[in-house]
């Protein structure tokens, strides 16, 4: 499926640093269409549903973090991927309730892949210059975050698959908040 929708959250660290406009501009520049947008302060139930504990996700977060920390010669004393995932999930839930975020839905060809590319790696330290995380948060790392028992403050969330995008969009927006309209580029699709 070439035409896709994806959910973007401009997380509260970006809102609080005054980066909303600059981040939206980057997504607009790709040619993807903003079809829904609002500022929203998540409650516990929304935070829990957004970051629900999925075993695959927990294992993936554990492996990504372990690999990075060990490659840098840093300690990674955790043994249980699920327990580690649970800890990250609870930090994520806290962070999502810290203050309002800007939620939006982007639509267009390959929207999921393009938005993830624009955002960069999970750890801003590994994000390439030119990506949102690389340009605005490169000093942030697993080492800093985990030593302070907090989440990576990496500015933006972007859905990682079309299936997750569908689930996440339904969580953050009602049908009536999602708009259908034409843009200049549409005549070429
Ligand atoms: P992404 O946001 O790049 O898709 P994940 O889905 O793997 O990343 O993780 C969700 C969020 O959890 C990340 O954006 C980040 O804020 C946080 N996170 C992931 N791993 C860690 C970790 N080891 N330490 C702190 N925060 C983490």
> Does ligand 1 lie within 6 Å of residue 11's CB atom?
no
> Does ligand 1 lie within 6 Å of residue 137's CB atom?
no
> Does ligand 1 lie within 6 Å of residue 90's CB atom?
no
Helix/strand/coil for 31:
coil
Residue 37 alpha carbon to ligand 1 centre in Å = 23
> Does ligand 1 lie within 6 Å of residue 122's CB atom?
yes
Ligand 1: which of 62, 90, 151, 168 to mutate, judged by most atoms within 8 Å of the beta carbon? 151
Domains in the chain (CATH in brackets) are: 3-174 (3.30.70.141)
Ligand 1: which of 67, 88, 136 to mutate, judged by most atoms within 8 Å of the beta carbon? 88
* Residue ranges of E strands in 59-161: 101-109, 156-158
Question: pLDDT per position in the chain (189 positions), as tens?
Answer: 589 999 999 999 999 999 999 999 999 999 999 999 999 999 999 999 999 889 999 999 999 999 999 999 988 999 999 999 999 999 999 999 999 999 999 999 999 999 999 999 999 999 999 999 999 999 999 999 998 999 999 999 999 999 999 999 999 999 999 999 999 888 888
Which tens digits make up the pLDDT trace of 88-110? 999 999 999 999 999 999 999 99
Q: Tell me the C-alpha distance between 159 and 167, whole Å.
A: 9
**Residue 189's pLDDT is what?**
83
Protein residue with least CA distance to atom 7, ligand 1: 61
Sign of CA dihedral 68, 70, 76, 78: positive
Share of the chain residues as helix, strand and coil, in percent rounded to the nearest 5: 50, 15, 30
Q: How many C-beta atoms lie closer than 10 Å to residue 189's C-beta?
A: 9
């Amino acid at each position: 499926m070439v035409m896709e929708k994806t959910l973007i959250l401009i997380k509260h660290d970006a809102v609080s640093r005054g980066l909303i406009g600059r981040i939206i501009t980057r997504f607009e520049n790709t040619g993807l269409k903003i079809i829904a947008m609002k500022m929203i302060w998540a409650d516990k139930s929304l935070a829990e549903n957004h970051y629900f504990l999925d075993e695959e996700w927990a294992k993936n977060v554990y492996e990504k973090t372990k690999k990075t920390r060990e490659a840098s010669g840093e300690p990674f004393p955790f043994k249980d991927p699920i327990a580690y995932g649970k800890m990250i999930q609870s930090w994520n839930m806290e962070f999502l309730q810290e203050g309002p975020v800007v939620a939006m839905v982007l639509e267009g060809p390959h929207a999921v892949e393009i938005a993830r590319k624009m955002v960069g790696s999970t750890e801003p330290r590994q994000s390439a210059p030119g990506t949102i995380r690389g340009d605005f948060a490169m000093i942030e790392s697993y080492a800093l975050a985990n030593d302070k028992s907090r989440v990576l403050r990496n500015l933006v969330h972007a859905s990682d698959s079309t299936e997750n995008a569908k689930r996440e969009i339904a969580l953050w927006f009602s049908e009536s908040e999602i708009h259908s309209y034409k843009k200049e580029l549409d005549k070429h699709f």
